Structure 1
Amino acid sequence: MAHIDLGNPLPGLPALLRFRPETARPLSDLAEVLLRGPGPLARGERELIASYVSVLNGCGFCAGTHGACAAVQLDEGMPLVERVHADPAAAPVPARLRALLRIAAAVQRGGGQVGAADVAAAREAGADDVEIHDTVLIAAAFCMYNRYVDGLGTPAPADPRAYLPMAERLVREGYAVPDAVPPGARA
């Protein structure tokens, strides 16, 4: 049960977007740019960074949703997502992505926790400045999204299978809010 009456039965962030449409557009547009817009990181990699930060923040809804989005878009699927969530240092990901996940974890602890050595390690592993920038921004944004979702106590499905239909819709349709959203249309 959410801390406030959201007036809808949706879980997590969708409930909040429906409750406050004035903030829905900018929050959704940011997610669209970060997770689906042009950039050197693959969409699945971006979703993996978002889900990993969400795991670190203990946000079950965002970890579940974006973990499922990553799994749908990565050849290795959910087994890889689960391994990254458990231990990114041991997960079978490229060195570049492993270094970016370390940067994301540093951002999650606090922006000032990202050091020159983290950035140098990412560059040495093949990451460019745009990938480093985008990783930091995804991690920072997901700290905000996670705190928004959990700060208002929105419900999250307990069954991991519940996130797959949401992920398939997000991968297919994206995060942007259409101009006119009739009640019940984005459930």
Structure 2
Amino acid sequence: MSHAQRVLLDDGAPHPHAFTRAEVGWTPHLAPLAEDELTERHIDGLVDAARVKSDYFRLLARDPEVLKARTLVDKDIFYNAAEGLPRADRELAATAASRRNGCVFCASVHSRFSAHHSKRADDVDRLLAEGVGADLGARWNAVVAASVALTDTPSSFGGAEIDRLREVGLDDLEIADVIHGAAFFNWANRLMLSLGRAVAPVGEPA
């Protein structure tokens, strides 16, 4: 990476004022690869060709093999929903981790998915507005609490969180999906927050 590419970027774009389900942007601190720099190796690492339009994924594509492994894990956690936890609850776990970590971008993406799949937009908005202590009902409260414990530090998660998940009806596969969704986004939040920052949705007041 050249000196020019290592210079921190700052385009002056406005920061979001709050957590939201609206489409939040993201701007990198470091220069991503330009679209015309992408080779077949980079495209393979992106997995989805449409991601060439994303600054975030073009930045991660500087290490395409790691990006490919990361993306395949991500897709398996959230899209392989034939068994285990419903998609809405997997997205809730990611939203809770993102809300706890302060990642406005990730929270916006996964809260939209959770609201869409659950049809519980009001509860999702309550989580975004009030934080991880919001009362979302016994089942969702248990999912959020487990996600928060993992997010704060993995050693905070243990038997009490598992027992609470079992009490609201989750089986072993479903509990594993809570863990996977929260743990993956606990890591992904830190990566995204380190490499750039969220940009306010279009139309948000300055």
Shorter chain as denominator, the TM-score bin is: 0.7 to 0.9
Alpha-carbon distance between aligned partners in 1 of 2:73 and 2:32, rounded to the nearest angstrom: 22
Alpha-carbon distance between aligned partners in 1 of 2:202 and 2:102, rounded to the nearest angstrom: 15
Which of the numbers 117, 120, 123 marks the counterpart of 1:80?
A: 123
> Do residues 4 (structure 1) and 30 (structure 2) align?
yes
> Which structure's relative contact order is higher, taking Cα pairs within 8 Å and 6+ residues apart?
1
Going from structure 1 to structure 2, the CA distance change for 1:69 and 1:16 (only over 3 Å counts) comes to farther
Which of the numbers 102, 109, 115 marks the counterpart of 1:65?
A: 109
Indicate the structure (1 or 2) with the bigger Cα radius of gyration.
2
Matched-pair contact (CA < 8 Å) for 2:31–2:59 = no
Unaligned runs of at least 5 residues, structure 1:
163-187
AA partner of residue 4 (structure 1): L
Alpha-carbon distance between aligned partners in 2 of 1:98 and 1:160, rounded to the nearest angstrom: 32
For residue 4 of structure 1, give the secondary structure of its aligned residue in structure 2: coil
1:109-167 superposed Cα distances (whole Å, 9 cap, x missing partner):
111101322211221121111122221121111111111111112x42311889xxxxx
Going from structure 1 to structure 2, the CA distance change for 1:16 and 1:43 (only over 3 Å counts) comes to farther
Going from structure 1 to structure 2, the CA distance change for 1:14 and 1:135 (only over 3 Å counts) comes to same
> Do residues 24 (structure 1) and 50 (structure 2) align?
no
Structure 1 residue runs of 4 or more that deviate by more than 6 Å after TM superposition:
none
Going from structure 1 to structure 2, the CA distance change for 1:26 and 1:54 (only over 3 Å counts) comes to same
Taking structure 2 as the reference length, the TM-score comes to: 0.67
> Do residues 107 (structure 1) and 150 (structure 2) align?
yes
Identity rate of aligned residues, in percent? 29
> Do residues 54 (structure 1) and 98 (structure 2) align?
yes
Going from structure 1 to structure 2, the CA distance change for 1:147 and 1:161 (only over 3 Å counts) comes to farther
Q: How many residues align?
A: 158
Unaligned runs of at least 5 residues, structure 2:
1-8, 10-27, 35-52
> Do residues 119 (structure 1) and 145 (structure 2) align?
no
> Do residues 152 (structure 1) and 195 (structure 2) align?
yes
For residue 33 of structure 2, give the secondary structure of its aligned residue in structure 1: coil
Taking structure 1 as the reference length, the TM-score comes to: 0.73
CA-atom RMSD, angstroms? 2.4
Going from structure 1 to structure 2, the CA distance change for 1:69 and 1:15 (only over 3 Å counts) comes to farther
Going from structure 1 to structure 2, the CA distance change for 1:19 and 1:67 (only over 3 Å counts) comes to farther
